[in-house]
Structures are given as C-alpha cells and as structure tokens.
Chain A
Amino acid sequence: MLIGLCGFAALVVVVVIAEVIYQVISGASPSISRFGLPFVWHSAWKPNLFIFGAGEMLAATLITSFMALALATPLGIAIGLFLSMLAPSWVRTLVGPLVEMLAAIPSVILGLWGVIVLAPFVQKHFEPFLHGAFGFLPIFGAQQTTGLSVFTAGLVLTIMVVPIIASLSRDLFLAVPRDLQDGAAALGATRWEVIRGVILPTTTSGVIAAALLGLGRALGEAVAVAEVIGGGSTLHGSVFAPGTTAASRIIDEIESLDNRLHLASLFYLALILLVLGVLTNLIAQAIARRLGGEQTMLVR
C-alpha cells in the first residue's frame, strides 16, 4: 500500500511538470500561431493594436540577469571561500546562516527596499560616478530622476543570487579532500595558492553549475524586478533608464488584459522563460554530473 502511495506521489511530480509545459504552450498557442518564432526578437509591444513581440523584454531580462551573474559569481565564490577556508569556526557559524537568511528575505520586501532605499542611493551615488567615468559608452547614459532602472534591477537580482552561489560553493569547497590541501601547503603554497591550485580547479564544474542555478533564479524573478525596474515601455540604450523584463511584464499586465491575444502573448513570454529556465537547469545538471562525479550530490 505504501509503495502505491509513494509511486503515486512520484507520478504526481512528473505529471505536474508535464502539465506546466502543456498549460503554458496551450495558453500561448494563439500568440504562437499568430507571430511564430519572430515573436522572440520583434520588439514592438502594443496590446491595443494586437502587436506583440518579446525582443526588448528579453534583452532587458538578459542584461539584468547577466549583470547579476557577473557581480554575484565572484562575490559568491569569495564568500564561499571565506566560510569554508578562512573564517574561524565561530565566525563561520554566525556568518553562514546570515548569508543564507539573505536568501530568505522575500523578494517583494527586497523590492520594496530597492525602491525606497537602494534606488535613490544608486541614483545619487552610483549613476553620476559610472556616467562620469564611463559616460563615453552609451550604456552608461545620463542619470534619471528616480533611480528605478535596469541597473538597479540588476543590483537587486545580485543580492538575491549571491546567497545561492555562496552557500552552494561553500559546500563544494568543504568537500575538497583535506589531503590535497595539506599536500599543497606542505609544498610551500600560500593559502591563496592552495585555493587557486587545489580548491578552485577541483570544484570548477560545481561552481559553474551553482552560477547557472543562480542565473536561472535571476531570469525568472518577477516581482522584485517589476518593482524596481521602473516599467519603461521601450529599451533605451542606457542601463540607467527604466525597462521591463519578460517576467516583470507578466506581473505588470496580467491584471489589465486588453484582449485574448494579449493574454496569449504573456503566456508566450512565460514559455520563453520556461525554456530558458529548463535549459539553464539541465546544463547545470549536465556539467555537475559530467565533470563533478561526487559533487553532483551537493549541487541542488
């Protein structure tokens, strides 16, 4: 009897995955048959004129996510190294949970903080500095009035992704055999050389997988981004201008639908997010499995 129940539960998991895929595709099908694949790169989004395209939103999604990834990966690895190698054990037991609890802060609260505290700070301090130093690059354009921007959204995503990469990479570093580290130290390696020569090479695949999982989280984050990105309709050249990502568009417009095609197009956006999410997840799993062996267990 128990085996039946357990088998049923396992079946539910598989069915739910299939149902998610089915529902999203069938919800998107009017939009798919109307616009086809070019939906992905066409950039006009005019619900009242029945014109939809995901191009600008996907660009914003990729910019914010990769910005978060670029900032969070080194930070997360550094924190993982600190927690696994450098910190004394009492610091470890104190700081480790704090870093993990950073991930427990609800995204809607992080978004609220982002709008009220972070955005004005970014607008006052980061934007003038970056514009002044790198203003010759069009992406660091003139500052805006509110600080609600693609850049701020990337920062908020960074805060959400750092704890994921940090705790995963800490677990990976802790699993590196002590013998290898001692051997390197006995050969005269400094602590950094042990890290560079032993720790990082043996965990590369796992760390890449952890970064990909963080990327997956950033790609799909909706509410915090919807709050801080400012909801601009067009993609300006500058990261200091407001924008809209695929996920934040769904949040912004699901309650104010113009027509059936509008809803279908939101489902199409979700379908793209689903594909991106599944892809990053599968690649992360494949990397962890192929190169890692033992590490597969550790990477969630």
Chain B
Amino acid sequence: MSAPSDPSALPADDAPEGSAPDPAAPLTATGNLRRRAAVSRVLQGAATAAALLAVALFSLVVYEVAKEGLSVISFGFLTTDPNLVNLGTGGIAPAIVGSIIIVAIATAIAMPLGVLVAIFLTEYAGRRSGRVVRMALDLMNGLPTVVVALMIYGLIVLGTHEESGYAASLALAIIMLPLIARSSHQVLLLVPGTLREAADALGVSRWQAVVGVILPSALGGIVTATILAAARAAGESAPLVILDSLIIGNTVHLNPLHGMATMPLTIFNDLALGVPAAIKQAWGTAFVLMALILAANVGARIFLARNRSRLGL
C-alpha cells in the first residue's frame, strides 16, 4: 500500500480496498470518507514499513556476519587452538567445545528443575503457592543477566578465587530456568483434560498419570522450550565475561572447574583487542555461534509445528 501524495486527488472509490467487507458503505464516497480511507492507508503503510524495517535489520546483521564470517571459516579455524603469542589469531576449537559443555551443564540443571516447577504449577500448586511460584518465575525472568552473574560471582568466584566454567553454567541455568518452566507450564496446560480423566478413571495415582500420560503428550513442547532456552543461553555473554576467563581456556579441555573458552567470550575479547586479525576471528566465531543458534531456533519451530499438527492442536 503506497501512501497517496495528495488525498484529494484520489479517485472516488466507494469500496476502500483492503478493508474488511463493508456492506454498509455509502454508494458515493464523500470527501470525509476519502480522507478517512487515505489516513487508514497511510497508517497501514507505516505499519508495513515498520515490519519491513525489522526484517531488513535482521537480514543486514545476518548478511554481515555471514559475509565476514565465511571469509574466515575453514576446517583449521574450527579445529585448532588459538595462537597464544599472537592474541586474536588462530582457531576457536576450545571456544566451541567450551560453549557446548557450559550450555550442556546449564541445560542439565535447568531442564529437570524447570519441568518439575511446571508440573508443580499444573498438578499440585494451590492457589496461593501457585501465585508465589509464578511471581518468582516472572521476577527471575526479569533479572538482568549481569545481576545473575554477580550473584554467582559472590557465591562462588569470591570463595574459590578462580573464574570457572561451572560458575558460568550455574548463571546460565538461572537464566534458562524460568524460560523452560514457563513454556512447559503452557504446554502442560494444553494437554487435553480428557487424557487426565481417562488416567484417573483407570485408577492410577497422580504421579503415574503425570509420568505415563501427561508428560509424554507434552514432551514435544518441553523439548522445544529447552532447545530455545539453550540457544538463548549459548548466546548469553555477560555471565561468561564476569564468571569465566580465557586464561586456562586456550586449549581444548573438558574440565568445567577451570576457566573455559567460549564463543561469546572470544568475540567479546577479540573486539576489546581491536586489531584487524582479532576482528576477523570475532566475525568467524560470530558466524559459527549465530549459525548454531538460528539453526536451533528454526529446528525448534519446525519440530513444534510438526508436533502440533500431530496432536491436532
């Protein structure tokens, strides 16, 4: 819909196109109706332009990361250690492994807790306790990530005097927990009541109904929620900057009790170094990280859509 330059120059149309069916429309458009239709069209155009702007921004960022990143990526970049002498050069293997381990630990903590909280909310919570827990989840979801990171800093890093991968995992778990709990809660609410009643009618206990009937039928949604939360955590950087360090993270190692290199931290440090070689490494890392995250998002969406249609929702 393009904006007409001069509303009065519009031909008199008695059925403004694009609007809902309008049986009561007058047969001839008065000047007032023409003005209203023009206003409507201009503002619809503005809304369309806003959506285009968002899509354009997304495409711009993805294009830039892909263009710069692909010129850096090679098999060696993905599989070798960074150069210890020339900071900001070399491969990013430790960062890829570190990101995977840290996010895996966070998921292993947050997923069971999140699902249990969701079950608590749907199956067991009274009115009062449900409200308290829901409110706590909302607050947790609204916590700035720096605050979560500093809390773990006070809890762990100040005590052990070492920045470490598992401290970062704990912070990421706190960030993931409300996301998983909320989405799982919504999925569990969607489980048809008839399934519950059928289980009750068969005389099974509540926990058997939950484990045997309700959870399996909600599994797709829970898995989707977990993937999305893990993707979010993988891109989270404030906890890594505060809790993790690259000092021991320059070679691939699997011990989260020490600092581990991660992809967001690599990008952040490269940008701080600021030299051209480091910026190149940052783009390469950004490409790998973003490809993983977007793939997880697209995959989760497709999985959810397929799951939905199977359940007939």
Interface residues in chain A, defined as those with a beta carbon under 8 Å from any beta carbon in chain B: 1-3, 5-10, 12-14, 16-17, 19-20, 23-24, 26-27, 74-75, 78-79, 81-83, 86-87, 95, 97-102, 104-113, 115-117, 159, 162-163, 166, 181-182, 185-188, 190-195, 213, 216, 219-223, 227, 247, 250-251, 254-255, 266-267, 270, 273-274, 277-278, 280-282, 285, 300
A24 touches B267 (CB 8 A): no
Q: Which residue of A lies closest to B235 (CB)?
A: A106
- Complex CA distance for A100 and B55, rounded to whole angstroms: 10
| Residues on A with beta carbons closer than 8 Å to the beta carbon of B24 | 186-188
The 8 closest A-B pairs by CB, nearest first: A220-B144, A106-B235, A9-B116, A78-B50, A281-B142, A6-B120, A192-B40, A2-B207
- Complex CA distance for A75 and B50, rounded to whole angstroms: 6
User: Given that A106-B264, A185-B19 are contacting pairs, would A190 and B36 also be in contact in the complex, using a CB cutoff of 8 Å?
Assistant: yes
B182 touches A182 (CB 8 A): no
Residue B105 CB within 8 A of the other chain: no
A190 touches B47 (CB 8 A): no
Mask of B113-126 contacts with A, CB within 8 angstroms, 1/0: 11011011101110
Mask of B271-282 contacts with A, CB within 8 angstroms, 1/0: 100000001001
- Complex CA distance for A159 and B62, rounded to whole angstroms: 14
B61 touches A300 (CB 8 A): no
Residue B73 CB within 8 A of the other chain: no
Can you list 12 A-B contacts with CB-CB less than 8 angstroms, sorted by A residue number? Answer: A2-B206, A2-B207, A9-B116, A79-B54, A109-B235, A117-B60, A185-B20, A188-B24, A247-B144, A250-B150, A250-B242, A281-B142
Q: Which residue of B lies closest to A281 (CB)?
A: B142
B86-94, B151-159, B192-200, B249-257: which one contacts chain A? B151-159
A82 touches B51 (CB 8 A): yes
| Residues on A with beta carbons closer than 8 Å to the beta carbon of B210 | 2
- Complex CA distance for A109 and B68, rounded to whole angstroms: 12
Q: A14-B133, A191-B18 are in contact. List 17 more A-B contacts (CB 8 A).
A: A3-B124, A9-B112, A14-B136, A20-B143, A20-B174, A75-B50, A79-B50, A79-B54, A100-B297, A102-B54, A104-B235, A107-B235, A186-B23, A188-B22, A190-B36, A223-B241, A274-B143
- Complex CA distance for A224 and B8, rounded to whole angstroms: 47
- Complex CA distance for A102 and B47, rounded to whole angstroms: 18
| Residues on B with beta carbons closer than 8 Å to the beta carbon of A181 | 20
B74-82, B217-225, B285-293: which one contacts chain A? B285-293
User: Given that A23-B155, A104-B235 are contacting pairs, would A13 and B177 also be in contact in the complex, using a CB cutoff of 8 Å?
Assistant: yes
Interface of A is mostly: helix
Q: Which residue of B lies closest to A163 (CB)?
A: B54
A13 touches B18 (CB 8 A): no
- Complex CA distance for A285 and B136, rounded to whole angstroms: 12
Q: How far is the CB of B94 from chain A (nearest CB, A)?
A: 17
User: Given that A81-B47, A99-B51 are contacting pairs, would A267 and B154 also be in contact in the complex, using a CB cutoff of 8 Å?
Assistant: yes
User: Given that A2-B206, A191-B19, A222-B145 are contacting pairs, would A108 and B237 also be in contact in the complex, using a CB cutoff of 8 Å?
Assistant: yes
Of listed B19, B39, B53, residue having the most chain A CB within 10 A? B19
B47 touches A251 (CB 8 A): no
| Residues on B with beta carbons closer than 8 Å to the beta carbon of A26 | 154
Q: How far is the CB of B52 from chain A (nearest CB, A)?
A: 9
User: Given that A12-B113, A223-B268, A281-B142 are contacting pairs, would A107 and B40 also be in contact in the complex, using a CB cutoff of 8 Å?
Assistant: no
| Residues on B with beta carbons closer than 8 Å to the beta carbon of A106 | 234-237, 264, 289-290, 293
Q: CB within 8 A of B301: which of A3, A9, A97, A105?
A: A97
B264 touches A108 (CB 8 A): yes
A6 touches B140 (CB 8 A): no
Q: Which residue of A lies closest to B209 (CB)?
A: A2
| Residues on B with beta carbons closer than 8 Å to the beta carbon of A17 | 136, 139-140
| Residues on B with beta carbons closer than 8 Å to the beta carbon of A87 | 48, 51
| Residues on B with beta carbons closer than 8 Å to the beta carbon of A78 | 46-47, 49-51
